[in-house]
């Protein structure tokens, strides 16, 4: 069984005007699809064929198979990213996750400011995450395809800060992209489910 290229959990225009259908069409239909296609052709006929996507990520990393690792991790990161956004998103965290954010960051507003600063500070391509680990919840930035799974952290939500995520809509204004996502479409329900399941 090849690794599946998943459908978006919403319509192409569902995140407008914050993420345009044009961006989603390219980002999901070209970039994400491309990672999955390259991965499937790279693992065909190898010992990776038939493994879960997570197992491929760990095995390729352990074996220093950079090409397979990059495409596998990007496939996983993107699927997680689509769920981190929602047309019904935005607002503030709720429930036990809201309490954890208040304990760690002081308030949801202060969390937003720290998350934005981390996403802006990521040099070049990468991802900004809210994760939990043995020491509690924290903001984490990863470069290129790198993923918190390798650190034993549980991802709660993520933001893609590769230029392909925002250039069509915001050009070089990464700060405006971050603001639009955090204020309007970040999926706190998804983060809360991940928090309750894994932290
Ligand atoms: Mn991307």
DSSP string, 34-95: HHHHHHHHHHTTSTTTTS-HHHHHHHHHHTT-HHHHHHHHHHHHHHHHHHTB-TT--S---H
Distance (angstroms) between ligand 1 centre and the Cα of 64 equals: 22
**For position 21, what pLDDT does the model report?**
98
Element (H, E) at 155: strand 154-160
pLDDT tens for 103-142 read 999 999 999 999 999 999 999 999 999 999 999 999 999 9
**For position 1, what pLDDT does the model report?**
77
Q: Cβ of 106: how many Cβ atoms within 10 Å?
A: 12
Distance (angstroms) between ligand 1 centre and the Cα of 195 equals: 23
Distance (angstroms) between ligand 1 centre and the Cα of 28 equals: 8
**For position 41, what pLDDT does the model report?**
97
Distance (angstroms) between ligand 1 centre and the Cα of 10 equals: 17
Taking the mean position of all CA atoms in its chain, how far away is CA 87? 16
Distance (angstroms) between ligand 1 centre and the Cα of 99 equals: 30
Distance (angstroms) between ligand 1 centre and the Cα of 27 equals: 6
pLDDT tens for 22-45 read 999 999 999 999 999 999 999 999
Distance (angstroms) between ligand 1 centre and the Cα of 161 equals: 7
Distance (angstroms) between ligand 1 centre and the Cα of 188 equals: 20
Q: Look at residues 97, 106, 81, 102 and name the one whose alpha carbon lies nearest to residue 181.
A: 81
């Amino acid at each position: 069984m090849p690794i599946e290229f998943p459908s978006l959990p919403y319509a192409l225009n569902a995140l407008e005007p914050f993420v345009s259908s044009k961006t989603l069409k390219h980002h999901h239909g070209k970039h994400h699809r491309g990672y999955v296609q390259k991965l499937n052709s790279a693992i065909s006929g190898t010992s990776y064929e038939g493994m879960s996507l997570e197992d491929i990520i760990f095995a390729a990393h352990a074996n220093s198979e950079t090409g397979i690792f990059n495409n596998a991790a990007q496939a996983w990161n993107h699927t997680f990213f689509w769920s981190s956004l929602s047309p019904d998103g935005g607002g503030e965290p709720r429930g036990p996750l809201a309490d954890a954010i208040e304990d760690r960051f002081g308030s949801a507003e202060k969390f937003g400011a720290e998350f934005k600063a981390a996403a802006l500070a990521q040099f070049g391509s990468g991802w900004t995450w809210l994760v939990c680990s043995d020491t509690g919840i924290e903001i984490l930035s990863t470069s290129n395809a790198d993923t918190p799974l390798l650190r034993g952290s549980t991802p709660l939500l993520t933001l893609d800060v590769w230029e392909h995520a925002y250039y069509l809509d915001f050009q070089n204004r990464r700060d405006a992209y971050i603001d639009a996502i955090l204020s309007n479409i970040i999926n706190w329900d998804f983060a809360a489910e991940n928090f309750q399941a894994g932290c």
